[in-house]
Amino acid sequence: MEIRPLKIAGAWEITPKQFGDHRGVFLEWFKSSTFTAATGRTLDLAQANCSVSEAGSLRGIHFTDNPPGQAKYITCVKGAFLDVVVDLRVGSPTFGEWDAVVIDDVDRRAVFLAEGLGHAILSLEDGSTVMYLCSIEYSPHLDRDLDPFDPELAIDWPKTDRQGNPLTYELSAKDAAAPSLTTLRTDGLLPGFVAEESPNR
């Protein structure tokens, strides 16, 4: 398992080693000891989710009030997604910046993001399936949304699916009505940045 820090402190890309034979493939998509050695923290599991999406389905940008915050460990078990992490921590050196990883059923990468970071996924193939581990249970009163098309973020969303066909973005009504980064900051709804947070290694 290889763990690579993304450009935003608190986010990592995890690439597992795959072992295959005539029967199929085996891999470890999460291993606590390896994760802790690379990130310097643990992941307390409180909830595990599964989401199936048609091509063009865009979920996010979502984040949770911090504290308590919600850390997530995400992988794709079928199809492909663009997984996007956004730094929403006011005072962070990378505030407002984003990084992205393609997670799919070929390389079988995972993405981890710490509390205080925003998250979105865009499905690149019909029937794409993502599974993720969460550090706290879903609590609607803590859940926040951010406009994924906010020009201040300027996220470079793919225009085509894995086969090169044009994508039509599909959002939930809640995500389509999400406020901008500036509005969230003005309203005091963004998490703060703790300077002594450990940087990625």
In sequence order, the 6+-apart residues with CB closer than 8 A to the CB of 70 are 63, 64, 115, 134, 135, 136, 142
User: What residue numbers bound the domain in which 44 lies?
Assistant: 2-186
**Could you give the CA distance from residue 92 to residue 9 in angstroms, rounded to a whole number?**
9
Query: How do residues 102-126 score in pLDDT, each as one tens digit?
Result: 999 999 999 999 999 999 999 999 9
Q: Classify residue 201: in a domain, yes or no.
A: no
Residue 71 domain-assigned (yes or no): yes
| Residue 20 falls inside a structural domain | yes
Give the number of domains in the chain.
1
Q: Is 199 part of any domain? A: no
Enumerate the active-site residues. Answer: 62, 132
Q: Does the residue 196 lie in any domain?
A: no
- The answer to whether 97 touches 8, Cβ cutoff 8 Å, is yes
- The answer to whether residue 178 is domain-embedded is yes
Convert the pLDDT of each residue in 58-76 to its tens digit.
999 999 999 999 999 999 9
pLDDT over threshold 70, residue 91:
yes
Residue 146 lies in a domain: yes
The answer to whether 166 and 158 have CB atoms below 8 angstroms apart is no
**Residue 201 pLDDT level (bands cut at 50, 70, 90):** very low
How confident is the prediction for the chain on average, in pLDDT?
95
- Taking the complete model, does pTM exceed 0.85, yes or no? yes
pLDDT at residue number 194:
76
CATH code of the domain in which 175 resides: 2.60.120.10
Evaluate whether residue 195 is within a structural domain.
Answer: no
Tell me what pLDDT residue 190 has.
96
